Structure 1
């Protein structure tokens, strides 16, 4: 950028720039005309002889280099111009210089104001100054690498060969060195404790643990010392600079220097407690006591110094004596009172706490400690006094509730205390925050005050009184995830009783069911509360009856209190049937038939029971006249004929059922399975065609048709039917499981991978994949696939049967899941009849599974 030049006046007359250097300027012919211009330089060759003979080292040439002639007006004007320029430059320099400086200011004077500002720099600013590094221009020594001579390498190899022969010499050297060390160890003393006894065995270990400082660390110490020295000089009254400098020496292993620095610091900052404590820490125990005694005399109101002096004492009596002396100077120190109480016996502590609360009536912890040491009645009085001194402290009321619980009071009494406390706190302008009270409930749970936990939740919940508020769900989930089960239980129990909602009670029962293994009494309690608050809900009565039966308790008492509904009576009939009491089970069903309006479910149960009781089939068939639209009754009637091996009678029943229920898939499948079991495939195929006309997209009919061809050893027809079935039902898991089993062994895994990809999370596909691995003998992989299938469908009996082949320990898990699905499971159940238990059905199904795996070959 162009800058405006200052006006220095008019230029001299006939001024030509550079004329003194021999320049002639830009002169044209129009300027000089025809004549020759004389530019004022003499051209006399005689006068301008500048050879070496006429040169003198001191005076130069005898003849001037530039002979400008006489001093004329132009020369005078030029000198005046140059002088004026020099004056202006000098004035500008004078304006820039401070007025109070001497004529020639020194560097110290120039930087004096900056040095005064350094006093305001704090320790953190000093420490944050970055390291400038080494920018010196000195040449640094470089390590030279010299090749090792071959002779050294050869000698090392020879010494390695002779190592074994010289082992005994090394042992002798080691023994001699150990003897020498043992003599030196007796003369070594500890710098801190002053003791002269040293552990000789651990001496070499301690030597190995000594720090070895590198050159960089040594350089860091030097920089730190310089920096802290500047800090101390800047502010000598600040103890932090002295302490930091002493700790640098301590880190460098120079305890004496550290002590010396702190001793100097005491002279400057003896009114600061930190430097006394730091010096006592570095001294021996005896000297530390003397230093702290002097510190107490200097600063008798410093709590830290008194407590450090107490810690230096070894005897309990001496500590108590010192603490009592401290209380004479600082009677309102909570820390000293607490330390004194902790060192005293229970009786003495009780007396001390009474004095403490008189001296410091606004300290909550002292009141609570006193209440814990007193009896129940006295503790109540103490908490009342604490409440009067601290009317806005909710912790007092919570501890009062804990006191009532420890005295064996019931939940109602504890709840009254907390409810009253919340009201009084609100009168004293205390804001009731639900989250804080719930945290107190969690703390009470951790301290085993379960009733107090429940009472806190109930009091804070009823205080809000928001019927439409669903924030309790978030709190309930949060505490359950944090394993604070009593707090979570209290939250959902209080909400269930307050809202008396079926969904909340159901969630409450499910919560207790999840944690039943930890404490089953709460599960029973939840069921009892549910039937009490919602007696019209059949589900809760059934849950309670089943729980009583599980505990082998008398569930008939529950039945007497429960409403006499069909579902409850069916549950009781089922329990009696499982125990083998068929007559009693039949009586419950008869009660439904006589007093209620039975559904087809009741008639099915009655029909099955009549078959188990070996009643006449004609008597059982009379039920069909009342419920002809129930396919289950038709199937049971046909199954009874099959059990009697009256196949023609069964066909008549199934044909009659088809006429009435021509769209019932279960009737068609049962009829077809009967013909297949008799290996009457020519009868079964037309039945499948007729059934498919009524149910064209039924995957079960397609699967039954494919299995028929497999049993008939007609694999080509099975493959043809399978391809058509997959076109109709592309994502059916049962059809894909058949596709895996029909695939050749070499490509079976590929087909299994395709099925798993297409039919995501299908238990039948997982089951067939497990069968493939079982056939190959890969037990662990098969087990993982079976477990996946049972996660998706825990009641799949076939998966339990195959898993039972791998490990027998899953029997109890299978019984608890009560499986009911699966082709092999149903086949085993029909073979053994229904009066056998799950264990025997599982064993029979596993035998069928073993044969099924062999077919894959």
Structure 2
């Protein structure tokens, strides 16, 4: 029996519509008037109910949204989805700001740590993978210190292809077939022929078998070119001139045909004869413009045409349009344009002046006359009209006409006064000018300068009342008083009154402005007025604690600018305020010594010793000036007063001894030394006593004095040097052994004791080494210098002496090794760098000197070395400049002055050599290797600086 199917069971899935998605746009109960809504139990955002009337839109939207959007799975607490349909009000905005502030605060708290981590990771990444620019950054930074000379010395980068091919000697195993023509030519090269081929003609030199020298051809071509350029330059002095083939440009005017001589050209188009003067003048007259310039002119012309058409009253537009036409060479068009500008802008003086400039003088006069009818108050137009006149009479007539129109123009009155030849006529004009323009200071001062002193005084007083705020009138009044012979007190009172009047009027100048006025007055030749201005105004605007420093700076800057009287006035006023400053008195004395005379210098020093009696230097300077002036008695009197003020002064005792010794008063000098050793027993006085006895031939007494001094001052190295000199007068390693053999042991013992007591004295180590070298014990000499270098670190003179010892022993390699070590230890030693330069071969000395100057920029020894190199190369001007620079850098080194004198004596003039001697005498040098050996020689005692410089120059090599 067949089973009947259950229809409900077969269609079970058909009625499960509650689990299915509703159709698009479906809303339950929409037919009964219901509307869609969403409750809190719903998950996700509410959606707008669709309309049954527009189901197609929903269908379309669902058809396109096949992909699942991430917003469907957002957190239900997320306000983006939860409150998507709500209004964003002020409370929400405030809440967002608070949350943003909290986020920023939290981010700021962790920022330092995060940035440090990021920086560390970045540095690690860069260290592992460096960029090319970072690898060469140090080299790029070093390029900033490359000088222009080094850039210029860089070789040009050329092609290395030929060089590589030339140096490529490897055999690639390739072989080439020689052409038959080469073989035939080699066969016929030396073959003799007795017949001549009619078709071939006469054989050329190329077929004779001789090789062509292209080098000689190039030299001949260069020589021919240089000769041709010299011929073209001619007498014009403007260098080489280039010529062009063909005819001159068609733009040349007929007026220039007389000055322009066209060149004749041969078949190749090269110039054979040129008139230099006519050719150059012709080039000046021809205006050739490139396509770019022509295009720029066209653009400017179109632009300016638009400007003057849209705004015809714009004067600068007309002027610019006229100048464009002038630049284009269209002078007539430029005049028409500027004439139209005058018609459109009759009240613009610039347009009228431009029109007068573009026209010839006859037409310019007519133009300016028309301009005056429109602008009678224009000073520029009147002055231009005056310039167009040729004779002085016409100029005066135009100026007076202009003054009638513009009576209050100071410039016109000044021009009218300058045109007058008669002083009386000028006085009349100035008197009238001051009546019409009483506020012009220039006119009042000009009138006062032309009047007599009595009338000038009246005029200035009247001007001072008329213009109470003018400082120029007060200064002019002070200068007038100085010219008539008034005392400095009267001038000071007048300037003080002027400063007070200006202060009450509110027109007082600043302190710097007053100093500039003082400098100007000094340049005009009124020193008393200059000093009065300084006295009245130098203390303005300065605090009491800053006065001394500010005034010293002012004096230095004024002296540098050449305002000596102003600097002297500043120092004089500072001395009144600070009379107890000895340094200030010395500054004043130095100023007088350089720019004054001996009388003023002695007066200042006398006043200085009265105000600063404890300043030994001032007493010594005064005594020296009396002695140099030939007044020995006054010098003795000064030193006596110095003894009373400073009874135990070492410097005063030694100065008195030197004064007596220089005047051959040996007994008095010895007596003074004995008293000095008793009253002021210093190591220097004992040393001078021994030197004095040695210089005057009493060696036994000198040695006794030295031994006694060594018991008192065992650590004074110069006493040991004097004792060694007394035992053996020559220990410098450069002469004969004058001492006896019995003294050698005593000399060694003296050096041993000296080096034990004074191990920090490099000179003792050097003298001991030289003594051993002279005795022939070179090994001991080296050992002493090495021990001295161990004790005295970074001592360049010990290294230099060790190098010279090796050079004298003919050990060049050892000397170079020592020099290398010395430069590593003393990298900034000018002495060692100088030795390094001279040890180089001559071609490489310049490179070494550049390295030395880079390492030690302003060292005087390096500067002298470079000067000597330039002298050897024949560059005299540069050598003189470098020698002068070295003496300015270290004026206390006598060797530098001697080198300069030797240079001027051999390759300079006698006048320059004498100037060097005078400069060296003023500098009074005390140091220098050769210089000290000359001045300390007993045979040179009492000799002048000129003689000592000459002797030092003769010993230089």
Corresponding residue number in structure 1 for 2:590: 510
Corresponding residue number in structure 2 for 1:384: 461
Q: Is the 8 A contact 2:619 2:638 kept in 1?
A: no
Alpha-carbon distance in 1 for matches of 2:936, 2:350: 85
Q: Is 2:661 the counterpart of 1:577? A: yes
User: Which structure 2 segments of 5+ residues have no match?
Assistant: 1-49, 65-220, 229-246, 259-276, 729-738, 846-860, 870-881, 906-912
Higher relative contact order (CA 8 A, sep 6+): 1
Q: Is the 8 A contact 1:763 1:789 kept in 2?
A: no
- Paired residue for 2:488, among 411, 415, 432? 411
User: Per-residue CA shift, 1:575-599, capped at 9, x if unaligned?
Assistant: 3422334456568779x789x9565
Distance 1:689 1:524, change over 3 A: closer
User: Which structure 1 segments of 5+ residues have no match?
Assistant: 1-8, 18-24, 27-159, 168-176, 189-200, 618-635, 641-649
Q: Is the 8 A contact 2:620 2:652 kept in 1?
A: yes
User: Per-residue CA shift, 1:718-739, capped at 9, x if unaligned?
Assistant: 2233333322223334432331
Q: Is the 8 A contact 2:518 2:566 kept in 1?
A: yes
Alpha-carbon distance in 2 for matches of 1:242, 1:782: 63
Greater mean deviation of Cα atoms: 539-548 or 550-559: 550-559
- 1:197-346 alignment runs, 5 A limit: 205-206=281-282, 208-345=284-421, 346=423
Alpha-carbon distance in 2 for matches of 1:282, 1:801: 65
Corresponding residue number in structure 2 for 1:93: none
- 1:669-708 alignment runs, 5 A limit: 669-672=721-724, 677-680=739-742, 681-695=744-758, 699-708=762-771
What is the TM-score of this pair, normalised by structure 1?
Answer: 0.63
Greater mean deviation of Cα atoms: 663-672 or 765-774: 765-774
- Paired residue for 1:374, among 431, 446, 451? 451
Corresponding residue number in structure 2 for 1:485: 564
**How much does 1:423 deviate?**
0.8
- Paired residue for 1:456, among 533, 538, 543? 533
1:361 aligned counterpart, secondary structure: coil
- Paired residue for 1:544, among 617, 622, 631? 622
Q: Is 2:801 the counterpart of 1:738? A: yes
Distance 1:715 1:212, change over 3 A: same
1:296 aligned counterpart, secondary structure: helix
Corresponding residue number in structure 1 for 2:476: 399
Alpha-carbon distance in 2 for matches of 1:263, 1:466: 65
1:563 aligned counterpart, secondary structure: helix
**How much does 1:571 deviate?**
2.9
Q: Is 2:826 the counterpart of 1:719? A: no
Q: Is the 8 A contact 1:829 1:841 kept in 2?
A: no
Distance 1:443 1:693, change over 3 A: closer
1:290 aligned counterpart, secondary structure: helix
**How much does 1:326 deviate?**
1.9
Corresponding residue number in structure 1 for 2:552: 473
**How much does 1:440 deviate?**
0.9
Alpha-carbon distance in 2 for matches of 1:232, 1:753: 79
Corresponding residue number in structure 2 for 1:435: 512
User: Per-residue CA shift, 1:316-348, capped at 9, x if unaligned?
Assistant: 111212222222222111121111111112211
**How much does 1:415 deviate?**
1.8
Alpha-carbon distance in 2 for matches of 1:638, 1:293: 104
Corresponding residue number in structure 2 for 1:644: none
**How much does 1:391 deviate?**
0.8
Distance 1:760 1:583, change over 3 A: farther
**How much does 1:402 deviate?**
1.9
User: Per-residue CA shift, 1:227-260, capped at 9, x if unaligned?
Assistant: 2222222222232222222222222222222222
User: Per-residue CA shift, 1:141-161, capped at 9, x if unaligned?
Assistant: xxxxxxxxxxxxxxxxxxx9x
Corresponding residue number in structure 1 for 2:187: none
Greater mean deviation of Cα atoms: 490-499 or 522-531: 522-531
Alpha-carbon distance in 1 for matches of 2:450, 2:720: 81
Q: Is the 8 A contact 2:653 2:676 kept in 1?
A: no
- 1:492-531 alignment runs, 5 A limit: 492-500=571-579, 501-513=581-593, 515-516=594-595, 523=601, 526-531=604-609
Distance 1:737 1:421, change over 3 A: same
**How much does 1:520 deviate?**
7.0
**How much does 1:385 deviate?**
1.3
User: Per-residue CA shift, 1:666-690, capped at 9, x if unaligned?
Assistant: 5555455555533343444445445
Corresponding residue number in structure 2 for 1:751: 818
**How much does 1:219 deviate?**
2.3
**How much does 1:807 deviate?**
8.3
**How much does 1:361 deviate?**
0.7
- 1:614-629 alignment runs, 5 A limit: none
**How much does 1:502 deviate?**
1.6
1:678 aligned counterpart, secondary structure: coil
User: Per-residue CA shift, 1:461-487, capped at 9, x if unaligned?
Assistant: 255685422322333333333333333
User: Per-residue CA shift, 1:8-66, capped at 9, x if unaligned?
Assistant: x999999899xxxxxxx99xxxxxxxxxxxxxxxxxxxxxxxxxxxxxxxxxxxxxxxx
Alpha-carbon distance in 2 for matches of 1:838, 1:204: 59
Corresponding residue number in structure 1 for 2:432: 355
- 1:523-672 alignment runs, 5 A limit: 523=601, 526-531=604-609, 533-534=611-612, 537-553=615-631, 556=634, 559=637, 563-565=641-643, 568=652, 570-582=654-666, 597=679, 599=681, 638-639=701-702, 665-672=717-724
Q: Is the 8 A contact 1:770 1:783 kept in 2?
A: no
Greater mean deviation of Cα atoms: 226-235 or 782-791: 782-791
Corresponding residue number in structure 1 for 2:104: none
Distance 1:829 1:262, change over 3 A: closer
Alpha-carbon distance in 2 for matches of 1:721, 1:475: 53
Distance 1:404 1:229, change over 3 A: same
Aligned residues: 642
Alpha-carbon distance in 2 for matches of 1:654, 1:583: 20
What is the TM-score of this pair, normalised by structure 2?
Answer: 0.57
Q: CA RMSD in A?
A: 5.0
Alpha-carbon distance in 2 for matches of 1:183, 1:16: 88
Q: Is the 8 A contact 2:934 2:948 kept in 1?
A: no
- 1:801-840 alignment runs, 5 A limit: 817=924, 819=926, 829=936, 832=939
Alpha-carbon distance in 2 for matches of 1:16, 1:603: 124
Distance 1:363 1:825, change over 3 A: closer
Alpha-carbon distance in 2 for matches of 1:508, 1:536: 18
Distance 1:775 1:512, change over 3 A: farther
Q: Is the 8 A contact 1:541 1:562 kept in 2?
A: no
**How much does 1:357 deviate?**
0.8
**How much does 1:422 deviate?**
0.4
Alpha-carbon distance in 2 for matches of 1:388, 1:813: 53
Alpha-carbon distance in 2 for matches of 1:450, 1:219: 63
